[in-house]
């Protein structure tokens, strides 16, 4: 069955996280996804706030930029949330927007190398191992968590280009595709991800997660066009518009293309982003099946 989620954009003020949490929990939404965009709120703090206020909904972090965060700090913070709220946190990492990484003095020459090193070290730390590594970017000397999670933690990576898609398949347990991706783009990306999965030798399924621009209302199609206009890498046919049934139909198209999880993403100019979350859980979810 397709998992359905919704994005709570970082443009919402932190004091609105309580209302966001309540909308997600009460509507039956399966997953609420948070971003870590510079220079909005931090994803760990936001996720902790939502997890503490809810009992059921899973919270995804999509994603923490690897250049922004030391892997040991990532492991320490994630271990707290994973133990306090078992089975409800989905941690994701990504390259980060390179202009922002340069702005804070954290841009690296090889984002691919950094992602590979951080995913490898993060998995080992969260598995309770004592880790020593001297890589190009990640350096650890007998580092072990005092409170590693009690159960294995799936790690997710954001990816767009072929190299990162293949790397995600090899080193992560799931891949997040951006809202620029159309159903045909999901099919193409899955083929490349599967090459990495095959190389990894891991038997467990690799989860494909896709964000989908979603606009409702009578002028939805025009607003979606404006939202997507001028985006680099925007694929024709990406997005969902209209009423609950039309959006559910779009979700099924993405699922048929290979998406295990479809995360509906409101535009920045959505008049009521909290109502959007309720709408996804209460009205779209029952129609997806």
What is the 3-class SS of the chain, one letter each residue? CCEEEEEECCCCCHHHHHHHHHHHHHHCCCEEEECCCCCCCCHHHHHHHHHHHCCCCEEEEEEEECCCCCHHHHHHHHHHHHHHCCCCEEEEEECCCHHHHHHCCCCCCCHHHHHHHHHHHHHHHHCCCCEEEECCCCEEEEECCCCCCCCCCCCEEECCCHHHHHHHHHHCCEEEECCCCCHHHHHHHHHHHHHHHHHHCCCCCCEEEEEEEEECCCCHHHHHHHHHCCCCCCCCCCCEECCHHHHHHHHHHHHHCCCCEEEEECCCCCCCHHHHHHHHHHHHHHHHC
Find the CATH number of the domain harbouring 30. Answer: 3.20.20.30
What integer pLDDT is reported at residue 69 of this predicted model? 94
- The residue segments making up the domain with residue 131 are 3-287
In this predicted structure, the answer to whether residue 209 has a pLDDT above a threshold of 90 is yes
pLDDT band at 270 (very low <50, low <70, confident <90, very high): very high
Residue % of the chain over a pLDDT of 90: 96
The first and second tokens of residue 203, run together, are 């038997």
At residue 71, does pLDDT exceed 90?
yes
Residue-wise pLDDT for 183-206, tens only, equals 999 999 999 999 999 999 988 899
Q: Report pLDDT for 1.
A: 85
Write down the pTM of the prediction: 0.96
pLDDT category of residue 217 using cuts at 50, 70 and 90:
confident
The pLDDT, as a whole number, for residue 289 is: 79
Neighbour count for residue 84 (Cβ, 10 Å): 13
Predicted confidence (pLDDT) per residue in 97-117, tens digit: 999 999 999 999 999 999 999
- At 100 the pLDDT is 96
Structural domain count, the chain: 1
Least confident of 89-93, 198-202, 236-240: 198-202
* Average pLDDT rounded to a whole number, residues 229-254: 97
Q: What is the pLDDT of residues 172-184, one digit of tens each?
A: 999 999 999 999 9
């Amino acid at each position: 069955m397709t998992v359905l989620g919704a994005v709570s954009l970082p443009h919402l003020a932190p004091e609105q996280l309580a209302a966001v949490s309540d909308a997600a929990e009460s509507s039956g939404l399966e997953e609420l996804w948070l971003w870590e965009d510079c220079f909005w709120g931090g994803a760990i703090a936001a996720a902790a706030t939502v997890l503490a206020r809810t009992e059921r909904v899973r919270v995804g972090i999509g994603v923490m930029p690897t250049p922004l965060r030391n892997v040991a700090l990532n492991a320490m913070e994630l271990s707290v949330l994973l133990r306090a709220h078992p089975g409800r946190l989905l941690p994701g990492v990504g390259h980060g927007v390179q202009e922002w990484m340069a702005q804070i003095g954290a841009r690296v020459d090889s984002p691919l190398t950094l992602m590979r090193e951080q995913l490898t070290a993060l998995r080992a730390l969260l598995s309770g191992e004592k880790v020593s590594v001297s890589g190009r970017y990640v350096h650890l000397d007998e580092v072990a968590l005092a409170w590693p999670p009690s159960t294995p933690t799936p790690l997710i990576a954001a990816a767009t280009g072929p190299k990162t898609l293949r790397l995600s398949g090899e080193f992560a347990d799931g891949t997040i595709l951006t809202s620029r991706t159309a159903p045909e783009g999901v099919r193409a990306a899955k083929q490349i991800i599967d090459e990495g999965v095959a190389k990894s030798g891991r038997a467990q399924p690799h989860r494909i997660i896709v964000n989908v621009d979603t606009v409702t209302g009578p002028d939805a199609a025009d607003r979606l066009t404006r939202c997507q206009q001028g985006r680099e890498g925007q694929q024709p046919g990406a997005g969902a518009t209209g009423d609950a049934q039309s959006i559910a139909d779009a979700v099924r198209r993405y699922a048929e293309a290979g998406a295990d999880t479809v995360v509906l993403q409101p535009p920045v100019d959505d008049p009521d982003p909290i109502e959007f979350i309720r709408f996804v859980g209460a009205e779209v979810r029952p129609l997806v099946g």
